[in-house]
Amino acid sequence: QVQLGESGGGLVQAGGSLRLSCAASGRTLSTYNMGWFRQAPGRNREFVAVVSRTGQTTYYTDSVKGRFTISTNDAKNTVYLQMNSLKPEDTAVYYCAAQITGPISRIPASYNYWGQGTQVTVSS
């Protein structure tokens, strides 16, 4: 079992940047596919980005391509989401999640472990 904890959220103006961190304890992250999801008020949780357990494959939702970058630091057992050129529509609670088995997925139900989330608010 793995425990996940996000940090790095906050309030930023449109066009600004934030880096979210997801620290894992209990198991090494290289065991899992690691995803970032977000949920805005009144909306379903949606896929943002994912990195494969090997670190060689990444996918992004179209709305963040070219602005967000997912990466891992095996030594720190941490996955990051660098978010640049933030827009008000990026405002949401951001969650990291770990997928134990199966091919890399964009579907929340495929993930087995979740962090508690961190709020990102982008003002216009």
Dihedrals φ, ψ of 19, to 5°? -120, 120
| pLDDT reported for residue 47 | 98
Is the predicted pLDDT of residue 108 greater than 90, yes or no? yes
Is the predicted pLDDT of residue 112 greater than 90, yes or no? yes
Strand residues in 8-91 grouped as ranges (E): 10-13, 18-25, 33-39, 46-51, 58-60, 68-73, 78-83
pLDDT, tens digit, 9 for 90 and up, residues 29-79: 888 999 999 999 999 999 999 999 988 999 999 999 999 999 999 899 999
